[in-house]
Amino acid sequence: MRVLLIYPLFPKTFWSYEKILELVDKKVLLPPLGLATVAAILPQEWEFKLVDRNIRSVTEAEWEWADMVILSAMIVQKEDLVNQIKAAKQRGKLVAVGGPYPTSVPAEAQKAGADFLILDEGEITLPMFVEAVQTGQTSGVFRATEKPDVTATPIPRFDLLERDAYDMMSVQFSRGCPFQCEFCDIIVLYGRKPRTKSPEQLLAELDCLYELGWRGGIFMVDDNFIGNKRNVKLLLRELKVWMKEHEYPFRFDTEASVDLAQDPELMELMVESGFAAVFLGIETPDEDSLQLTKKFQNTRNSLVESVQDIIKAGLRPMAGFIIGFDGEKSGAGSRIVAFAEQAAIPSTTFAMLQALPNTALWHRLEKEGRMRESKDGNINQTTLMNFIPTRPLEDIAREYIEAFCALYDPTAYLDRTYRCFLMMGKPSWKAPAKAPEWKIVKAFATIVWRQGVKRETRWKFWHHLFGILKHNPAVLEHYLSSCAHNEHFLEYRQIVREQIESQVEEYLAQGAEKPYIPVKKAEVVKA
């Protein structure tokens, strides 16, 4: 069996980072770890080719070669997923589809022509699919009623990836999250009991990447890396030793809940194991909204102090913010900007709230009759809310645009980044000195020219650069890398403004809905 694995296109988003990737001659931030894992679970006597369409298009020779096409996608990739299913069917190929989006909304892939739906987690449903194929079946839907033991998951087929095109590699230690945030689909897809691989298993994956010649960044793609703190600490104690023995070949980033700040031992282990940055789901500084959306873990301690404790431990925070929660008071966008400034968070993802399929929020809004016509949701930063909020949508959109542009004002961004790195702790270890690659030298020169000469930020840039050299020189490389990130945001904030304003105009022209007013009755109605 010759299997062509295809990863659909992403639209331009916060995470696409085109301008940054251009600086270092890379095409994509992260590889499709899910498809690489699928290839490892399927029979190894099968032949595989993997094409990430974010790097290049599928060639006609590859289409011709394939007996079967397998695709995986997230919700933001849904448009190209449908296009690739149709392209495969036009060429007479059997098509199998899986991943988060088809698992949440299987009807869309089926409607596009997919023959097999391999839903939920592949450790359980892929063997069902293989059995069906081997017995001659040409269609089927495979679902799981339980969560798999990920200690049986094989090492992903990293060898199938065009590794030179990626800025970072990906590995996964755990699935699931113990919390119950109303808007989150992670707990729907992977459950609230975090399941982890063994330390030996994860280190074997790192061994594989090391032997393939990878050096540089690795994103630990767990949705909450610290969901099972006991097992994470067991991993980190062994990872710390592995990194030292291999002379620190990797730098790790990950995602974690903000209660990381209450565990100094865990933060120290992460830094000593080579972790450099962590994405935090802050969502909003408004405690009423946090309580309403059941993000209780963000209400137990001061959020500003928590973020700054994480910085002082040696980790750069990236933060996710959301606007549009029920009951939200006007000025939410300004409060988010003020929080990011106070906490000194350089990079923030920021979007209007979306009700994602099958989440608790989705079901509540469906019951209240508040879902808009285009209701499948999207987590792109250029998308209006897919439900009727409790204040005018056009007001939320205006605040969102203003806040997004304020967060990525070049001067404000440099100031926040500078304050963050001034207070940042540093690890006790130091990687062996080596001459920087030419592409890194070229990228640094480009940043110096743009931010230190060409733009009005020039005085700030040099003041802050010398300030870091004087007060915290150990973080200089990381600091400059963070300065480079605003090359992407400078362009992207204008894309956000144009696309959101266009959608708001269309929304108002069609006749804006009245805001939803909660009423204390057995039957909830719309104003």
Residue 209 sits at the vertex; the CA angle it makes with 203 and 214, to the nearest 5 degrees, is 135
pTM of the model: 0.94
Does 526 score more than 60 pLDDT? Answer: no
Residue 427, CA atoms < 13 Å, CB-side half-sphere: 22
What tens digit of pLDDT does each residue of 253-270 get?
999 999 999 999 999 999
Report the chain's terminal Cα–Cα distance, integer Å: 57
The per-residue pLDDT for 527 is: 41
Does 376 score more than 70 pLDDT? Answer: no
At 278, list the tokens.
């962590």
- Which DSSP string corresponds to 65-96? H-SEEEEE--GGGHHHHHHHHHHHHHTT-EEE
Residue 28 backbone phi and psi in degrees, to 5: -140, 150
The per-residue pLDDT for 524 is: 44
Q: In what order do the strands lie in the sheet with 47-52?
A: 47-52, 2-7, 68-72, 94-98, 116-118, 140-142
32 touches 77 (CB < 8 A): no
Does 518 score more than 90 pLDDT? Answer: no
The per-residue pLDDT for 409 is: 95
The per-residue pLDDT for 525 is: 44
